[in-house]
Structures are given as structure tokens and as C-alpha cells.
Amino acid sequence: MILTIDIGNTNTTVGAFDGNKIIFVSRLATDPRRMEDQYALELNSIFSLYHVSKSDFTGAIIGSVVPPLTPSITNAIKKLMGITPLIVGPGIKTGLNIRIDNPAQLGADLAAGAVAAATMYPLPCIVFDLGTATKASVIDSDGAMIGGVIAPGVRISLDALATRTAQLPQVDLEAPQKVIGTNTIDCMKSGAVFGTAAMIDGLCKRIEEQLGEKATVVATGGYLHEIAKHCKREIIQNDILVLQGLQIIYERNC
């Protein structure tokens, strides 16, 4: 089996693959203050929870957008499993033609998501990652990653409303029954959920106008299910897209 770890700003997602088959997915809170032994213990607990042994793994790969945390989890894997994981970054073969101004600036999560989408879905393709930030990656009909969009994440936007205003409260991220809110909390929820969904619909239209053709739309990320179901556009929902991309990248390098 192959261990895949996606270190995000809010959550760290751990997955295990046997070939192309996903064995388990688990999520941890991302905390750069934790030491490598703590992460080793957490990984070991996850393996026990899903009834797999550390000896079942033959390799591991990490994609990280939190560089200070990467060495801790890398060393945790070495201590626990005796495996040196691959790290997605310069020198790693992705098989993806990255046609942006500075390919080295492309985040590991975006690279892995684009690799999975280009492998699994019809092209051209727009990939939305609905996490701490709302990100879109655009893959053209030749399978090249040509650019994207980054906007504040839906949770960040809600938190900013509560902390940067005197009278707006913290609210849960859920859709109200109607778009037109009749109280402050429903108005905030509507703006966050329906507003983000409308932004995604609008971005799809504008991106397709630039591409000059219709695109497949895929969405992933921690806020996938809260947002995607309210989009007017048909969207393929895949909450393990980044892990699948990491697994593909591992196979291409080993």
C-alpha cells in the first residue's frame, strides 16, 4: 500500500491506496506546533483504527502547502514506518505540463488535483478546491495546466465579517432556506454559501469564454459538500481528488 498525505492550512488528510483502490481516508487538524513523535503516534492510531499495519506500506508521498510542518511529518513517517516519503516539489515528475509564469510557485495541492483531473476526467477541465482558500485550476484540452484563480475561502470570509465589524456575529457555515435573508444570520449565511456558489458558476462561464469551449468542472476540498450542491453548474464532486493525484504522482516516480 501507498500512504498519501495532503498537508493543508486547516486540515491534514491521510489516505492509503492499494493500487488505485482507496483503503481509508482520515483527517487531522493541521498544527505546526506538534512534534514529529506526536504525528507518529497519530498516524499509528489511524492505522489501528482502520485495521492496517505499518508493515503493509511500501511507500509514501506528501503534498504540503505548510512548509514548516513538512519535516515533522516526514520524520514521523521515517520513525514509524522506516520509509522516506516523496515530497511533491521541484524534481518530482508529475507528468503535468505546467504553463504558468513560474511553475515552482504552483502549490502541491493544486498540482496533485490537476494531475488527477487530467488523468480521470474529460478535458478541458476546471478544478475547484474549496478549502481555506477557494482555488480554481484550469487544464486545457491538451492536458496543460494553464493557470487559475484564488479567492478567499468561504470560512475566511465569514470569519472576517464577524471580526472586522462591530455587530455581525460568528455563524455556522450552512445554507439558509431562502436566498433573501430576513435576519442578520440568514443574510450572512446566504452571502457565504449562495454567494460562493454563484461565484463558482460565474467563474466557470468566464473561464469557458476564455478557453473558447465547454469544460468539465470538478470540485474538491473541505467545504465541497456545503457549496457545490448549490451551484447551478453541473459539478463532479470528488473529495479525495488530491489524494488520488498524489497516488498517481507516486506511481510516476516509482
What's the CATH number where 129 sits? 3.30.420.40
Instruction: Verify that 103 and 151 share a domain, yes or no.
Output: yes
Q: Which of 31, 37, 101, 109 is catalytic?
A: 109
Domain end marker among 67, 87, 107 = 87
Active site (annotated) includes residue 109: yes
Task: Give the domain range for residue 59.
Answer: 2-87
pLDDT of residue 202: 98
The model's pTM is: 0.93
Instruction: Verify that 105 and 76 share a domain, yes or no.
Output: no
Q: State the amino acid at position 180 in one-letter form.
A: I
Task: Encode the chain (254 residues) as per-residue pLDDT tens digits.
Answer: 999 999 999 899 999 999 999 999 999 999 988 999 999 999 999 999 999 999 999 999 999 999 999 999 999 999 999 999 999 998 899 999 999 999 988 999 999 999 999 999 999 999 999 999 999 999 999 999 999 999 999 999 999 999 999 899 999 899 999 999 999 999 999 999 999 999 999 999 999 999 999 999 999 999 999 999 999 999 999 999 999 999 999 999 98
User: Beta strands of the chain (E only): which ranges?
Assistant: 2-7, 11-18, 21-29, 59-64, 86-87, 97-98, 125-130, 133-139, 144-152, 216-220, 236-237
pLDDT of residue 254: 86
